[in-house]
Structure 1
Amino acid sequence: MKAGISRKMEWSLLLMAAPFILLVIAFNYVPLFGWVYAFYDYKPGIPLADTPFVGLKFFKLALEDGSELGNIIRNTLGISALSLLISPLPLILAILLSEVRSKLFKNIVQTITTLPHFISWVIVFSIMFSLFSNDGLVNQQLLNWGWIDQPSNPLSDSSIAWYVQTAISAWKTVGFSAIIYLAAIAGIDQEQYEAAKVDGAGRFRQILHITIPGSVQTYLVLLLLSVSNMLSNGFEQFFVFFNPMVSEKLEVLDYYVYRVGIQSADYAYSTALGIFKTIISIALLFTVNFISKRTRGNSIF
């Protein structure tokens, strides 16, 4: 009887997961059939059967396109490196929230920090433009107070474009990312804290010797996944913040694939770039997984 109930429960859970499995297959695996366009000199409006087969032509073209693609790769890796540098921020926020005794204050802070995640990038751009443009609120207030002589627009300053976008991305994502660490901290055995209190450890020492070691495993897993995903900065953020003043610094690989494939209708070349990106990301994933296994004794998978 118990075995029958257990099997019934297993089938119930499988059926509950089925719609999500189908969505993953539909949006992540079915599009892989489009990789065939990278091997044909495809032009819009011409059937693929009537398109000449060119083999690895566009892959060779991507490798030979050193000047423009080199700058794009540099932008992509530079912004990803800055994102890795600020990756401890969600963990720090989660630790601070876990130490707050007032449940009301904790809920208010968590709501405020999580809310930007649900705001679209178009709205984020509108907010930032209203605040930091030459006629924005920040410049007007600083001019009224006499702190500056002329307005400045950080959204159009190429020298700090990477840092501005990293700060905006952090504002949008840190609160939501902290939820994972809050769950990890909640899973730490509370008896460890009780034992630490008995031994005379204060709150700082409890954080240092219990909370951080208890959540660092989650942090390392997410960090390794971020390293393997360094070629993916996202598209929406750079699409809305892209302008001629910062184009040299904000044209990342995802935006470049869009520009080549959609705006220039060069589907074959853009598909080849997408395949290159996928292969390199998979290689990075297996590399960091191997390094983790050799250095830490365990791995992601």
Structure 2
Amino acid sequence: MNGLCTGRVAVVTGAGRGLGRAHALALAAEGAAVVVNDLGVGVDGTGSGAGPAQQVVEEIRARGGRAVAHGGDIATTEGAASLVRMALESYGRLDALVNNAGFLRDRMLVNLDEDDWDAVMRVHLKGHFLPLKHAAAHWRGEAKAGRTPTARVVNTSSGAGLLGSVGQGNYSAAKAGIVGLTLVAAAELARYGVQVNAVAPAARTRMTEATFAETMAAPGDGGFDAMAPENVSPLVVWLASPASAGVTGRVFEAEGGRITVMEGWRPGPTVDKGARWTPAQAGETALQLLAEAEVPRPVYGAG
């Protein structure tokens, strides 16, 4: 196989269904050996099963690719460590990590239980941090041994993390945290040959097809299926490949045939008095600055 990822080894979390499955298949199609991680849980994170991960492995192998299944919980230290270990023991190297695993427990804030907050934070935010930590430790070791890698990390944020989403306070907070983690990791790991970016995809998955049923529906006329998860994967593959050299610490929205570079917090209108404000003066100045500032994009589901 000759492709952007020929000879590389990629790990994809949450790869049994939806976006993760699409990413794993696309990486394999471009020549990567893939470690397919999935717990096989329900859309709310309950239950488990080895079936989804193994099915994706079989799909990849049927197409002539290389893949192994990993059923560990990547939001635990041992699960994340074993994920990296499986790549090294199966294929002798690790070149790319695609953090994708997650589930939803949507509630309005006043109805959001602490357990639902913790569970969503755990799978999305901790489930990004731990695989990243263990992969980064391996790559740092390689760099210190004089074998600086061409390593890539692709994290998965969301429009909910960039703008907020009504009824998804836990999910929005976790996905916003992933952006912050991405920026820090990109800065810290550059010296070891590691690039870290994030995507904020919009696609039809188990997490979106019910909540946004009308928006996510496939066209009935056989036209371009803008919400197919496979539309997001080409960007993920490129970010995971050597071809993306020099691109790090960036966030991309990907939806249908559209790719957007997202521009985060930047200083807007400002006033420096050179001395302490009174509360009334601070308020009056804030209102003046807000009148000059760009109006923020609305939170998803607001209004």
Q: Which bracket does the TM-score occupy, shorter chain normalised?
A: under 0.3
The TM-score, its normalising length taken from structure 2, stands at: 0.26
The TM-score, its normalising length taken from structure 1, stands at: 0.26
Larger radius of gyration: 1
Ranked by relative contact order (alpha carbons within 8 Å, sequence separation 6 or more), the top structure is 1
Bigger fraction of residues in helix: 1
